[in-house]
């Protein structure tokens, strides 16, 4: 009976930990069509990036598919230098706008050698604007 209670307690703690990792507890913000500020908190963005699950629907976190080590591919491309690559990814588009669009519209820019539709498609609906701005701020530090 003691093993059963311990197992039940561990399962409860694990489920609470998974809920806590869901992206900071903010409700998704409606996109009122206006511009969003590109100023974010890079430290919070790094924390969000490194969570195994993120957002309101407990989607796979960035680190689940994107390595921060040069040349290391998990599912998607390494993000070790994404801040630099984003600067020239789309002519006439700022690095911040490219990164933001890549999060909220993952099929807008497919890196050569990767397949459309593989990245989780609903981050734009499930993350708040602040969370997206924080992720962009962190990604911009990766040079």
Domain boundaries along the sequence of the chain: 2-25+37-140
Rounded to whole angstroms, how far apart are CA atoms 51 and 74? 15
Q: Are 49 and 62 in contact (CB under 8 A)?
A: yes
Tell me what pLDDT residue 126 has.
95
Domain 2-25+37-140 in this protein, CATH class: mainly alpha
Counting every residue written for the chain, the total comes to: 143
Least confident stretch, 53-57, 78-82, 98-102: 53-57
Written as six digits, the tokens of 120 are: 């989780």
pLDDT digits (tens, 9 = 90+) for 8-65: 333 433 443 333 334 343 434 433 333 444 589 999 999 999 999 999 899 999 999 9
pTM of the model: 0.74
Kindly list the distances between the CA atom of residue 69 and the CA atoms of 52, 72, 73, 87, 116, in Å, as whole numbers in the listed order: 17, 6, 9, 19, 23
């Amino acid at each position: 009976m003691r093993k059963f209670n311990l197992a039940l307690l561990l399962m409860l703690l694990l489920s609470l930990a998974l809920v806590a990792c869901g992206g900071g507890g903010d409700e998704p913000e409606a996109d009122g069509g206006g511009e969003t500020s590109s100023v974010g908190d890079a430290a919070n963005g790094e924390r969000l990036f490194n969570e195994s699950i993120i957002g309101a629907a407990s989607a796979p976190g960035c680190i689940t598919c994107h390595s921060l080590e040069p040349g290391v591919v998990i599912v998607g491309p390494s993000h070790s230098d994404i801040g630099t690559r984003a600067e020239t990814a789309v002519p006439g588009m700022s690095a911040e706008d490219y990164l933001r669009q890549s999060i909220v519209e993952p099929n807008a820019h497919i890196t050569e050698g990767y397949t459309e539709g593989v990245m989780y498609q609903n981050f734009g609906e499930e993350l708040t604007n602040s969370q997206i701005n924080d992720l962009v701020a962190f990604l911009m530090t990766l040079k």
